[in-house]
Amino acid sequence: MSVPNSTQQSDPSRIMQIGMGFWASKLLLVAIKFELFTLLASQKSGAGAIKEKLGLRTTDQHVFDFLDGLVSLGFLEREGILEKAIYSNSPDSNIFLDKKKPSYSGGILEMANNRLYEFWGHLEQGLLTGEAQNETKGAGNMNFFEDLYKSPEKLREFMNAMSAIQAGNFISLVRQFPFSNYSSLVDVGGADASFSIQVAAKHPRMHCISFDLPAVEPLAKAKIRQAGLEDRISFSGGDFFKDPIPRGEVISMGNILHGCNEEIKLQLIQRVFEALPGNGVFIAIENIIDDERRKNTFGMLMSLNMLIENGDGFDYTFRQFESWVKKAGFKKAEIIPLTGPTSAAIAYK
Ligand SMILES: C[S@@+](CC[C@H](N)C(=O)[O-])C[C@H]1O[C@@H](n2cnc3c(N)ncnc32)[C@H](O)[C@@H]1O
């Protein structure tokens, strides 16, 4: 049988790589769950010692496959082979995946393993029904956050995940935005106060309020205390759908609007507008999708993650943001790219 020319030049490897990508994803997530990188940060080890320390009961062959798979993906390094192999972390794994280092960034990946991996297995049902596929599935009117936060472990895991995914963005925004022109910030849905801490640490004139659900207060207060910024950052407990948004010259929302449908987005933006003074600024820190919707893959997948988590929440382009803030009465909007897929969408009153 002859094969058409166009097929001879084509290559299915990318299709296969993405289609089977969940194998590699799960391999990394399991290694993080087992704290393999934390173990190897303290000591290079052979496969036998790793097998024993992690309590693996599989065959030696599959332990080699597990470890060498991570070598082939660049997350581990190896000297020797099989029984003679000595495994160590790659430089990036050593910095970002060792739980004992402050640079640990595995929080979001722990949550990906413990929650999202399973829920994303139901993406087709999400697309077919438009309904959330997480813990709230089939649970009537359950409130996602209130329910999640009943478990102290899940609360901590969620907070760590949020600060891990946003850390670089907060640092970048604090460097790029002229906070020194302002004296107060209210971070709505501020989680463990990570953003307020970054702003207050760099700008000694700034007083910040981190506003979030009351369940978050102990974790946020502990972080503020740890940073030694209790005199300039306070925590305010409340529900941003029902309670007044505290007043401030700058009001920020990191990954908040994307959790809501368009009607609720508009209501929240309007309430932010009312809480700002005449020269006030609203900053949304999200995975703003490029206007042509061709490039920001992570932003579009995050939007589908909002389908999985909330049903009708969605991520958006800067053009959409601009039209919403103008409707609310803001004069002007701009966008500042932060790290990777994330940007700050900024509206001036
Ligand atoms: C996706 S996280 C984003 C956290 C943080 N702003 C960031 O950028 O990483 C959403 C945050 O909003 C808070 N939150 C959710 N619903 C809320 C509500 N109704 N009122 C106040 N805070 C809420 C959650 O507790 C959580 O900290």
- Can you tell me the distance from the alpha carbon of 249 to that of 34, in angstroms, rounded to the nearest whole number? 45
Which residue of 213, 242, 303, 338 sits with most ligand 1 atoms within 8 Å of its CB, as the best mutation to test the pocket? Answer: 213
- Quick one: three-class SS letters along 63-129? HHHHHHHHHHCCCEEEECCHHHCEEEECHHHHHHCCCCCCCCCCHHHHHHHHHHHHHHCCHHHHHHH
Beta 250-254 vs 343-348: how paired, if at all? unpaired
Burial state string for 121-133 with b = 16 or more CB within 10 A and e = fewer than 16: ebeeebeeeebbb
149 and 226 in a single domain? The answer is: yes
145 lines ligand 1 (CB under 6 A): yes
pLDDT, tens digit, for every residue of 61-73?
A: 999 999 999 999 9
pLDDT in the model for residue 221: 98
15 and 130 in a single domain? The answer is: no
pLDDT in the model for residue 234: 98
CA-nearest residue for atom 4, ligand 1, is 191
pLDDT in the model for residue 31: 98
pTM over 0.85: yes
What is the block-wise mean pLDDT of the chain (349 residues), using blocks of 10 residues?
Answer: 64 96 98 98 98 98 98 98 98 96 90 96 98 85 78 90 90 96 98 97 97 96 97 97 96 97 97 97 98 98 96 97 98 97 98
Of 96, 119, 144, the residue at which a domain comes to its end is: 96
Burial state string for 279-303 with b = 16 or more CB within 10 A and e = fewer than 16: ebbbbbbbbbbeeeeeebeebbebb
pLDDT in the model for residue 140: 63
Q: Could you tell me the residue range of the domain that residue 138 belongs to?
A: 107-348
pLDDT, tens digit, for every residue of 22-74?
A: 999 999 999 999 999 999 999 999 999 999 999 999 999 999 999 999 999 99
Cα of 29 vs centre of ligand 1, distance in Å, is 24
Of 96, 120, 137, the residue at which a domain comes to its end is: 96
pLDDT in the model for residue 3: 55
Q: Read out DSSP for 36-72?
A: HHHHHHH--B-HHHHHHHHT--S-HHHHHHHHHHHHH
CA-nearest residue for atom 18, ligand 1, is 239
78 and 153 in a single domain? The answer is: no
Q: Is residue 102 in some structural domain?
A: no
Active site residue 258: yes
Which residue of 256, 257, 258, 272 sits with most ligand 1 atoms within 8 Å of its CB, as the best mutation to test the pocket? Answer: 256
3-state DSSP call for residue 32? Answer: helix
pLDDT in the model for residue 4: 57
Of 65, 96, 127, the residue at which a domain comes to its end is: 96
pLDDT, tens digit, for every residue of 218-230?
A: 999 999 999 999 9
Cα of 191 vs centre of ligand 1, distance in Å, is 6
241 lines ligand 1 (CB under 6 A): yes
CA-nearest residue for atom 9, ligand 1, is 162
Mean pLDDT of the chain: 95
What is the 8-class DSSP label of residue 196?
H
Cα of 138 vs centre of ligand 1, distance in Å, is 23
- Can you tell me the distance from the alpha carbon of 169 to that of 133, in angstroms, rounded to the nearest whole number? 28
pLDDT in the model for residue 53: 98
111 CB contacts (<8 Å, ≥6 apart)? 157, 158, 160, 161
- Would you state the torsion angle of the CA atoms of residues 299, 301, 303, 308, taken in this order, to the nearest 10 degrees? -150
216 lines ligand 1 (CB under 6 A): yes
